[in-house]
Structure 1
């Protein structure tokens, strides 16, 4: 039986009318250098190669059981040599082999293919560093890991190195070894690289005032009334839903909302994201947009758009007048036209500025950090870099 998607509730902007909300919008250490495991006191569970040599793990051919550690798989294997051979060692080995194969299948499903492909790149950098330094990156300690970061800083951006460290941390999680990627020495090395390169996010947020200007200018810029309504709706949904543009229009990621993912009610609209950046398989995110008692209401705008939208029962939510999916390029071009019309330099305004603007507004209205993180489907406090005051 196919696994049913698990809905991850995500609250939206505003408050239901029965809660007495005001009319205006309210959004609601160091180990040994080299190849020794940092803490050999933990029993290891050596995995076989995971997915096309993604994480090759060197392990002894004979499992060992360390003192003060739980038996786990190592104990189960060792026990077969001394237990009564009711089923025989061969049968035990075959059973464990079957479990290992099933586990490998489950582990492959735990990460998106794109994430696994990105993580696979870390092995190339590890091999290059080890060849030049003679040091072993995995397993290792914070000293070697920080040197690895310093090496990567010669040719990679801080954000890319952060991804490499995430992949390295993933390897440590598999072996149950102490993870040095979160050590102060490693993080400070990466922070220094970030400050030296000045890679601050310079994108500006879309404010409520700017959103209003873009909204009203749409009727003048686009000759076809449908196009004006289309882009007005995308902008409002992106802003109030703190949404990535890839969740609304056609991109290679293929995360765009579908027509059947939208439900309209008298006081709200709910949007179901079947997938999104960093989402897990079979886990959906639901976004609630509450009806607002003033002009820029995302729910009212969705109603207007759906009345004009070509009568297609399936497909992407946002389509052209001829029924073709709206692409990122089309939206970017439309946005550029609007900025030109209001005579504002669009160099620092991107499609992501709507998401940044929504997060900034939520923070300015006093929403707790954990709620903003939930609204934007962030897994960490990474959203803090989006807050612009």
Structure 2
């Protein structure tokens, strides 16, 4: 039994069959009535997708030349932000737009803050910390002098101009490196961007070094020069006790290759030569150096100076000093009033003695004893390893101390 055709169909039987949609696009409705419903071809979809984006809610119009292709309107999504709405300016990346970060700003428990500061303070020596602070102060002076707004972290152009400023003011290459190291240390400690490590800064420092090569102008004190300096000490010093003490100090600095900080008083926490660190017997003099430039952790080093024809004068002056030295503990070299021998006092007496015998005071410094002692050992036929061990060098830097 055949089912009779329905005379009235539902207006929602197929797409675009609703009277309102037919009225909206009559051409498409007529085409669909003749050819039947069909899926949009790839060309039709491509045609619709190439319409200008600013024509919103615009339905496609049939092209009379392509009657077989029918464009099906794609759903149009309105932008969430109108095109005419202005968007805030995006922050330009750079050091000026960043917030200063510091390990002390947040995240550290208040009772533990002193321990954090104590550990960071102990991470470097006081001399290094003082040099780093001088570098930061020098950079602030540069900014003030040239009307730069001091900001932290410093931009790259400030660092570049600062290096040129130091070169123009005849600052040495080594001092420039130390000052930049101070700025770099503070930046890394605070977690900031370190512009001192950039390529242009490295190349400027390389040019700095080529144009201003480092020259060690310090002259070595020879054994004959040492004897001359000791001979005029009674004239330079204020008392006989002072002359005896400086005679022993000059000889020990020469034969033991001592740095001035290893046997004079510099600060309360700096390791220096104490009374119980020195032993003297008939065959040798023993020294115990608790810490030095190359021994930052104070592991200690034992030295032994054998008696021979060259070191007889050292034994003589050491015994003379022990005979008049007050019987107290503390630093080995001390004045008659029990006060320790300071670095300033040693360099001052050396300067007066060098000037008295007519030598150049700009080249003979306290380190001249160490340079002269290394040269003396080399001339006596000691091996390089022996000189390196006696001078407590960790590298081949001792080669620059041998001045023939």
| Aligned residues of 1:146 and 1:186 also touching (Cα < 8 A) | yes
| Aligned residues of 2:236 and 2:353 also touching (Cα < 8 A) | yes
| Aligned residues of 1:129 and 1:151 also touching (Cα < 8 A) | no
> Residue 286 of structure 2 aligns to a residue in which SS?
strand
5 Å-filtered alignment, 1:1-389, equals 35=95, 47-49=102-104, 102-126=115-139, 129=143, 138=153, 148-155=162-169, 156-171=171-186, 174=189, 186=201, 189-190=204-205, 192-193=207-208, 196=211, 200-215=215-230, 226-251=241-266, 256-264=272-280, 267-274=283-290, 280=296, 283-297=298-312, 300-301=315-316, 303-321=318-336, 323-328=338-343, 330-332=345-347, 334-335=349-350, 338-339=353-354, 344=359, 346-362=361-377, 367-368=383-384, 372=388, 375-376=390-391, 386-389=401-404
- Distance between the aligned counterparts of 2:181 and 2:386, measured in 1? 22
| Aligned residues of 2:259 and 2:367 also touching (Cα < 8 A) | yes
Query: Would the alpha carbon gap of residues 194 and 386 (structure 1) be closer, same or farther in structure 2, given more than 3 Å must change?
Result: farther
Q: Deviations over 1:52-107 (max 9, x none)?
A: xxxx9xxxx9xxxxxxxxxxxxxxxxxxxxxxxxxxxxxxx78x887777444322
| Aligned residues of 1:145 and 1:181 also touching (Cα < 8 A) | yes
Query: Would the alpha carbon gap of residues 357 and 188 (structure 1) be closer, same or farther in structure 2, given more than 3 Å must change?
Result: farther
In structure 2, what is the equivalent of residue 42 of structure 1? Answer: none
Report the CA distance between 1:148 and its aligned residue. 4.1
Which of 1 and 2 has higher RCO (CA within 8 Å, sep 6+)? 1
Report the CA distance between 1:189 and its aligned residue. 3.0
- Distance between the aligned counterparts of 1:185 and 1:275, measured in 2? 38
| Aligned residues of 2:244 and 2:321 also touching (Cα < 8 A) | no
Larger Rg over CA atoms: 2
> Residue 285 of structure 2 aligns to a residue in which SS?
strand
Query: Would the alpha carbon gap of residues 346 and 117 (structure 1) be closer, same or farther in structure 2, given more than 3 Å must change?
Result: closer
Report the CA distance between 1:304 and its aligned residue. 0.9
Report the CA distance between 1:179 and its aligned residue. 7.1
* Aligned pairs, number: 304
Report the CA distance between 1:110 and its aligned residue. 1.5
- Distance between the aligned counterparts of 2:150 and 2:234, measured in 1? 63
In structure 2, what is the equivalent of residue 3 of structure 1? Answer: none
Report the CA distance between 1:294 and its aligned residue. 1.0
Structure 2: 5+ residue runs without aligned partners? 1-92
- TM-score, normalised on structure 1? 0.57
In structure 1, what is the equivalent of residue 26 of structure 2? Answer: none
RMSD (Å), alpha carbons: 4.9
Q: Deviations over 1:170-217 (max 9, x none)?
A: 346547899775778645533544565677332211023322444456
| Aligned residues of 1:289 and 1:298 also touching (Cα < 8 A) | no
Query: Would the alpha carbon gap of residues 209 and 185 (structure 1) be closer, same or farther in structure 2, given more than 3 Å must change?
Result: farther
Which deviates more from structure 2 when the two are superposed, residues 225-234 or residues 202-211?
225-234
Query: Would the alpha carbon gap of residues 370 and 188 (structure 1) be closer, same or farther in structure 2, given more than 3 Å must change?
Result: farther
In structure 1, what is the equivalent of residue 21 of structure 2? Answer: none
Structure 1: 5+ residue runs without aligned partners? 1-32, 37-45, 50-55, 62-92
- Distance between the aligned counterparts of 1:178 and 1:378, measured in 2? 35
